[in-house]
Every structure is written in C-alpha cells, then in structure tokens.
Amino acid sequence: MCGIIGYVGAKNATPILFDSLKRLEYRGYDSYGFATLDGEKIWVRKSKGKVSEAGFEKLPGSVGIAHTRWATHGKVTKANAHPHLDCTKRIAVIHNGIIENFEKLKSDLVKKGHVFRSDTDSEIIAHLIEDSIELGLPEAVMRTMKILKGRSAVLVIKNDFDGIVAARNGSPLILGVGRDEYFIASDVPAFLNRTKDVMYLDDGEMVVLERDRKPVFRNIGTGTRIEKRIIKIDWDAKHAEKGNYRHFMIKEIMEQKETIIRAINQNDGEIKKVAAAINKAYGVFLIGCGTAGNVCHTGEYIFSSIAKKHVNHVVASEFPGYRDFLTKKTLLIMVSQSGETADVLEAVRVAREKGAKVISLVNVRGSTLHRMSDFTFHINAGPEKAVASTKATTAQLAILYLLAYACAGRIEEGKRLLLEVASKINDMLNPRYDERIRALACSMQRKKNIYIIGRSLNYPMAMESAIKIMEVSYIHAHGFAGGEMKHGPIALIEKNTPCIVLTGDGSDQDTVNNAMEIKARGGYIIGVGPKKYEVFDFWLKTPDVGLASPMVNIIPVQLLAYHLGDLRGCDIDTPRNLAKSVTVK
C-alpha cells in the first residue's frame, strides 16, 4: 500500500525523491519520510500528513530512499513514518508490505538488547540487518528477507555503502535505468518522467545498486546471480499528469472517450483462443477486489446473457474458501487494475496449488499478476492515478463483453456493440451533461444517505455506484438488487431520501416497480437509463446500448460522485483511509 522510491546517481537525491514521492502518493498518504547518504552520514527527515515541501530542507547526498505510508501496524505518527533506523543509526530502511511474524521477531530482538523507536512491523528489518551486518550489507539484507514472513519490498542504505540494496517478496519493485543513475520504486509512474527503461524484480529477488556499477540481481533463496533485460515502457509520462484538470478523477472519467476503443483493440486470435479455453474449462471464476470485484460480478451476468455460460464471480479475499472446488480444469479470470492487489495474488497462489489456469485483465504491464498469469489482456487505459477507479472499470467491462461474445462465436457483433458504446460515451461526456450532473450534486450534497438499485446487469453496477459515491464524497451510499429493497432496506427510506435507479438492461419493468415502491415511501427517484419513466423525479439520460447498459450507466454516477466530493470539499484523488493499490490482505 505504501509507495517507495530510491535514487542512486550524480544529482542531489532530495528533489528527485520528492517529485517521485508525490507521484506515488496515491499508494498511501498518511505520513512520509526520507533518508539520504552523504559521505558516511545518513540524514533522515519524516513528517505526518501528505507529502509537502513546506518546511523541508534539501538534504545532502546523491543516494537516498523515501517512503509515503499507509498505516498497517502502528498509528499515524512521525515516529512510525519510514525510514526506520537500526540501533547504531547507520542503517536506514523503508518497507512496503506487512510482516506476519513480526511479534515473535520483535520480542527476540528486544531480548537481544535492540531498542525500538516505533510501533511498526517494518522497524524490525533495520534491526535484523544490524544483527548480521558483519556479512556485508547485501548478504545481511538477503538473510533478513529469508526470515520475514508476509509480503515485503525493502530499500536499504548504510552509512559506508555507496548505493542501495533492494529486495522484494510479495510487494512490487521496479528498477528504472537512467543515464548514470538508477531509480527503484513501487510503481513506474514514480520515475516515468526521467526514464522509460525498466527492469522488473520478481518475488524472491534482490538487486544491489552501486554508483557507477551495473545493477546486480540475485535470487534471495540461493544467492545466485540473475541476468535481466531492459524493457521499454510505452506509457507516456504526460498521461500520468493532471494536465488542465483539477483532479485526476475527472481527467480519467473524461478519458473514457478514448480508453474503451484502446481496450477493445485486442488481437482477435488471442480473444478467440481465450474464449475457447473458457468454453472448455470446468469451472470458470471471475475474481477481483473493490471496483474490479464489481466488474467481475457484472461479468457473471455478461457471460450468462451473451455466452449462456455460467461463470462464478468471487471477491478475491473470499476465494480461498473455494479451494476444494478447484482442479486442473478450472480457469480463473483475474481482473485487477494494478495487478498488485494482495488478495488477488493470493487467489492465484491458491489456484496454482490445484493446477488451475489463470487469465488476467490488468492495466499495469509487468505487474505481479501479469507475470503470474498464463495469459494477460492489457486493458490499455493508461495510468490511473485517482484512488477511485473509473476508466479502468469501463475498459475491463469492455474486454469481458468481447470475451463473452467470442465465447458465443459472435465476436464481430461484440466489437460493433462496443464501438457504438465508445462513440456514445464520447457524446455523453460533454460540458452540458456534466453541468446538469453538477446541479444535481448541488441539490444532494447535504444528504446523509443515498441508495442505488438495479437488476440483472445493473445490480453489480448499483454496488459500484455506491462505492464511487462513498469513497469520493464520504456520503453513506448502498447499492441493492432492486428486488431486495422490500426485504429490509426499504425501511430506511424517508421523505426525500435520494435513490438512484439504474435501468436500460431489459429488466426495466420490475426495476421501475421497485422505484415506485420507494417513491410511495417518500423517496426521491433519480432515474438513469435511456427511457424516461414517470416515476423519475430527475432523469439522467444514457444511450440505449442494450446489454452493454452497465458501461454507459456508470458514467453519470462517476460524475455525480466526483461533483459531490468536490462540492463537499473532499480530498477527491486521495480519499481518507484509502489507497489505490491494496498490497496487504
């Protein structure tokens, strides 16, 4: 969840680390810190809150590490912010991940006389390295990594070592190779403005970065050297910038004018091959978390209505409970924007134990999920920086539609539909539409609760709508299957309670009946769909695209969530308590 960055080069490290840290802030943003190396002195600065240059002097040194935190163990305090030092203050460590055996390790270290200055699990890494430092820094890091259980990406500097030792086991680390300089970070956008040449570390690997020397990659378990090649990233650095937009979220919503076309620009042969594998498999699971989990849930309806194929959607954190149903014939379709979500990776590990096959839909090339999968579709949405996922959602849905049509042997029909959807979304995202939604948001901004209903394909989208509204505006929102309202939730409806009703998927009549039941109890009905029904108090028109209705219905809700958040003065791109990439279980 945290963001980490290291620099080894000829320039002063602090401004570079600062810049990168800001680009990584979406991964966690409750506190941050730096350590640089100047001659034989380590300089450390930490602060609570978001990355800010205010009151922060430039530290000396052209080797440094920096961290932006999303707290797991230990409260949000300056002491708990990284880097952490060993007892002698000669070793500085930053860490992304979670150490499962930290209590035992910590009590052993305390018994040996180590003094701890924080409540974090991460600090034990500095003390473990200190314990075996006579082996030399790389060996001591290697030994420490073997002891840690859980997930970790670690960057370490030492007062008399002119570089960084980095290691990963479970959390991402990518090396950026510049001219006479190295960057090592949790994610590519951290250094994309400086280099596009990257080398990926796999789990169980480490790299020693010394000034003026080639990077040396080694296997943590065996110590053997590993040869790696440089891969060129094709993302444009400007795509990871806000441009003229006030927030990444609105920029990314607007980018849906193009991203769907990019998503469906896949190789037909590969789509057909994967579709054949889906048709042949015995037990197909669609798995993801958060918004991607809602995409998977929609996928269950997509495959059922288009391919007449039963696939099971499961949220990744619950998937281990299904392990007894897995065989070599099982096929997993993993959906993850980042490709780094811990529960998603754990689901793949569980499936692999049973010999199941894994297909993935990811946005981040080279991510752990991409590298663990038998086959990957890149959704090609470009960097998604706002914590609330928008453009990745519609791109993921587009590929699921394409696959379902391919399973039914009607790939061309699927492509035609998706091209129509893309062009209609392009028309929808115009200033007038946006203004109308802002006006609606103005009238709703002080509401305490918002409910959303949908049936069939729009039922998971009702839940996705609730996630969007909650995370961006902090208004309590809840999505239900339309038919479930009268089994409990309808008790929550009071005079003028806003209720968003998603229509246009073929189950309108029943959904509209449910809307009437809500209205009869005083609810204020905001209809979303191609047809204006009398029950609607407010209508957000979306184009009629038949079974692809979830793709167009989610657009006005994304805009509504954005405007509600903006009007309420919320931190739209980095909402409180959340992180973009959830790398802990």
Q: Which residue numbers are catalytic?
A: 2, 580
Cis amide bond preceding 530, omega within 30: no
Closest approach of ligand G6P to the CB of residue 573, in Å: 11
Residue nearer to ligand G6P on the CB measure, 262 or 580: 580
Residue nearer to ligand G6P on the CB measure, 26 or 102: 26
Q: Does 118 bind ligand G6P (CB under 6 A)?
A: no
Q: Does 338 bind ligand G6P (CB under 6 A)?
A: yes
Residue 13 has which token pair? Answer: 């490290």
Q: Does 274 bind ligand G6P (CB under 6 A)?
A: no
Q: How big is the chain by its Cα radius of gyration, in Å?
A: 25
Give the position of tokens 């070599």: 328
Residues 6+ away with beta carbon under 8 Å from 221: 146, 204
Q: Does 249 bind ligand G6P (CB under 6 A)?
A: no
Closest approach of ligand G6P to the CB of residue 363, in Å: 8
Cis amide bond preceding 498, omega within 30: no
Please work out the total of residues on this chain that contact ligand G6P, with binding judged by CB under 6 A: 16
Asked if residue 357 lies in contact with residue 277, where contact means CB atoms within 8 angstroms, the answer is: yes
Residue nearer to ligand G6P on the CB measure, 172 or 529: 172
290-329 residues in contact with ligand G6P (CB under 6 A) are 290-292
502-531 residues in contact with ligand G6P (CB under 6 A) are none
Query: In the chain, how many H helices and how many E strands?
Result: 16, 25
Strand partners, 200: 174
Crossing angle of helices 549-567 and 431-444, in 10° steps, is 60
Q: Taking the chain, what is the end-to-end CA distance rounded to the nearest angstrom?
A: 10
Interface segment toward ligand G6P; rule CB under 6 A; list 75-83, 208-216, 386-394, 418-426 = 386-394
Residue nearer to ligand G6P on the CB measure, 344 or 452: 344
Residue from 96, 144, 380, 389 touching ligand G6P (CB under 6 A): that is 389
Asked if residue 176 lies in contact with residue 201, where contact means CB atoms within 8 angstroms, the answer is: no
Residue from 195, 298, 336, 553 touching ligand G6P (CB under 6 A): that is 336
Q: Provide the 3-class DSSP secondary structure of residue 336.
A: strand
Which helix H or strand E contains 147, and what residues bound it? Answer: helix 137-147
Closest approach of ligand G6P to the CB of residue 343, in Å: 8
Q: Does 373 bind ligand G6P (CB under 6 A)?
A: no
Question: Alpha helix locations (H) across 180-264?
Answer: 248-254, 256-264
What is the rounded distance in angstroms from the CA atom of residue 341 to the CA atom of residue 583? 5
Interface segment toward ligand G6P; rule CB under 6 A; list 214-222, 334-342, 397-405, 448-456 = 334-342
Residues 6+ away with beta carbon under 8 Å from 268: 411
Q: Does 171 bind ligand G6P (CB under 6 A)?
A: no
Residue 314 has which token pair? Answer: 């499961």
Residue nearer to ligand G6P on the CB measure, 339 or 498: 339
What is the rounded distance in angstroms from the CA atom of residue 67 to the CA atom of residue 28? 9
Q: Does 341 bind ligand G6P (CB under 6 A)?
A: yes
Closest approach of ligand G6P to the CB of residue 264, in Å: 19
Closest approach of ligand G6P to the CB of residue 583, in Å: 10
Residue 302 has which token pair? Answer: 């997509």
Crossing angle of helices 411-428 and 256-264, in 10° steps, is 170
Q: Does 390 bind ligand G6P (CB under 6 A)?
A: no
Q: Does 468 bind ligand G6P (CB under 6 A)?
A: no
Closest approach of ligand G6P to the CB of residue 560, in Å: 17
Q: Does 584 bind ligand G6P (CB under 6 A)?
A: no
Asked if residue 21 lies in contact with residue 197, where contact means CB atoms within 8 angstroms, the answer is: no
Interface segment toward ligand G6P; rule CB under 6 A; list 223-231, 250-258, 286-294, 404-412 = 286-294
Interface segment toward ligand G6P; rule CB under 6 A; list 114-122, 284-292, 452-460, 490-498 = 284-292
Residue nearer to ligand G6P on the CB measure, 106 or 247: 247
Query: Of 41, 80, 79, 36, which Cα lies nearest the Cα of 59?
Result: 36
Q: Does 22 bind ligand G6P (CB under 6 A)?
A: no
Residue nearer to ligand G6P on the CB measure, 97 or 498: 97
Q: Does 344 bind ligand G6P (CB under 6 A)?
A: yes
Q: Does 14 bind ligand G6P (CB under 6 A)?
A: no
Residue 263 has which token pair? Answer: 């998503």
Closest approach of ligand G6P to the CB of residue 304, in Å: 23
Q: Does 2 bind ligand G6P (CB under 6 A)?
A: no
Give the position of tokens 């409990």: 488
Residue from 114, 251, 365, 580 touching ligand G6P (CB under 6 A): that is 580
Residue 294 has which token pair? Answer: 């809602």
What is the rounded distance in angstroms from the CA atom of residue 482 to the CA atom of residue 505? 13
Residue nearer to ligand G6P on the CB measure, 391 or 415: 391
Residue nearer to ligand G6P on the CB measure, 314 or 535: 314
Q: Provide the 3-class DSSP secondary structure of residue 168.
A: strand
What is the rounded distance in angstroms from the CA atom of residue 95 to the CA atom of residue 583? 12
Closest approach of ligand G6P to the CB of residue 364, in Å: 8
Asked if residue 42 lies in contact with residue 35, where contact means CB atoms within 8 angstroms, the answer is: yes
What is the rounded distance in angstroms from the CA atom of residue 53 to the CA atom of residue 60? 16
Burial code of 289-299, b = ≥16 C-beta within 10 A, e = fewer? bbbbbbbbbbb
Q: Does 473 bind ligand G6P (CB under 6 A)?
A: no
Residue from 13, 98, 289, 564 touching ligand G6P (CB under 6 A): that is 289
Closest approach of ligand G6P to the CB of residue 534, in Å: 36
Interface segment toward ligand G6P; rule CB under 6 A; list 42-50, 175-183, 444-452, 574-582 = 574-582
Give me the residues that bind ligand G6P (CB under 6 A), please: 289-292, 336-338, 341, 344, 387-389, 578, 580-582
